[in-house]
Amino acid sequence: MYLLGVLVIVVGIALSIALHEVGHLVPAKKFGVKTTQYMVGFGPTVWSTRRGETEYGLKAVPLGGYVRMIGMFPPRASDGGKLRRATSNPFHQMIEQARQDSLDEVTPGDEHRVFYRLPVWQRLVIMAGGPLMNLVIATVLVTLLLTVHGIGVLTPTVATVAQCANTDVADDDCTGKDPSPALAAGFQEGDTIVAVDGRAVSTWPETTYAIQNAGEQATFTVERDGREETLVADLVMRERPLVTPEGEYQLDDEGELVWGEVGFLGATPTFEYQPQPITDVPAFVGDMFVQTARIVITLPQRLVDVSQAAFGTEDRDPEGPMSVVGVGRVAGDVASGGLGDLTQGVGDRLWVLLSLIASLNMALFVFNLIPLLPLDGGHIAGALWEGVKKTWARLRNRPAPGPVDTAAALPVAYAVAISLLGMTALLIYADIVKPISLG
């Protein structure tokens, strides 16, 4: 089951990458750009076939992909016939070589099928097509997850009753100890709490909040075998983090937990999956986007935290970044039932794996929008800047400027690529020596 979970996530990542590239390929062909290659993966080619002018194939390392379009970089703007001195600057040489390589791909008759000649809006559609495909995948999977399987919730139906006061629910040896308030009050497994001190509750967070504010004694109305019972519990007071009616921990102005004296009942809720209405999907996807964007924005600090955990004694942040190795380990834990109540059955495990794939697609969507080459966002930013320049020139009745020279940003692109390789190496090392555990 562990290996099956890893296989499912690997296939899911490969399919997500393949569809990402389809998001670039389809509009590129639609707008007449000559596309010579569609490849999933990097490294040596494992398999390929040619259909028309495009070679389709798989490469050895399925952790990325690309669509090769001719004329990605425009030629250098004319210097009015003036001679330019040769330069030994390696960055300038790199840029000129990239321009020349881009022009070498243009064969006679294809001069009007190059990428840089497209209108700005068409270039935006092509480059945004990949990330948007990942957003569509994430949305579809989230929709299925919410409406078909449901999300895990804690209900006010009692799953277990603690035997001892102020101890772990699993502690059955109460020698010399008082019984738990729930046991002393007569709670039984299967009781559904419907009111606390006369206040109706329908969720476990509402129940927890009501118990928190009940003081040392609380009156519970429970539904048992189709009839209502009234139970009075003398709660054990102890120092615990305070919660809101929504079940979230209360935080002070500095973001720290707010602690207080709260009542301990000794009854644990039932965990179950409840389907949600389709109208909840936009808010859920929006929250996924915000959480993912927050991780991307704070990525430098999070990488510092990962480094300190990998080479020190700090714990890994379960909401921090992971490499494909870490994702594979989590998928294996899920498939082998390592998340307890979240993965009681094989079906539940599959749905959790699909939720992981949805999260990965949201990460691909957000990360690829970073406005730096070689990411899609870098090409999008270049096209937008060209659109701004052309609009400004039109408003001032001036000739339209030429294409934005994206090749000039290649040194930045190489720096970004090297940084991404370093980040990947760090995350892989951390996921091996100190992996994130979601159990």
Who wins on pLDDT, 255 or 389? 389
The percent of residues in the chain predicted with pLDDT above 70, rounded, is: 90
Q: At what angle do helices 120-144 and 376-395 cross, to 10 degrees?
A: 140
Second-level CATH architecture of 152-274: Roll (2.30)
Supply the pLDDT for residue 83: 39
Whether pTM exceeds 0.85:
no
Supply the pLDDT for residue 42: 84
Name every residue whose Cβ is closer than 8 Å to that of residue 15 and which is 6 or more positions away in sequence.
none
Tens of pLDDT along 53-94? Answer: 999 999 988 778 899 999 888 877 654 434 344 455 665 666
Active site residues: 21
* CA dihedral (79, 378, 298, 432) positive or negative: negative
What does each C-alpha distance from 321 to 163, 212, 325, 359, 421 come to in angstroms? 40, 35, 11, 12, 14
Task: Give me Rg for the CA atoms of the chain.
Answer: 29
User: Can you tell me the distance from the alpha carbon of 65 to that of 85, in angstroms, rounded to the nearest whole number?
Assistant: 38
Supply the pLDDT for residue 85: 46
Supply the pLDDT for residue 333: 80
Q: At what angle do helices 324-335 and 346-368 cross, to 10 degrees?
A: 160
Supply the pLDDT for residue 212: 87
Tens of pLDDT along 404-438? Answer: 877 777 888 888 889 988 998 999 999 898 888 76
> In the chain, what are the domain boundaries?
152-274
User: Can you tell me the distance from the alpha carbon of 248 to that of 257, in angstroms, rounded to the nearest whole number?
Assistant: 10
Question: Does the pLDDT value for residue 173 go beyond 70?
Answer: no
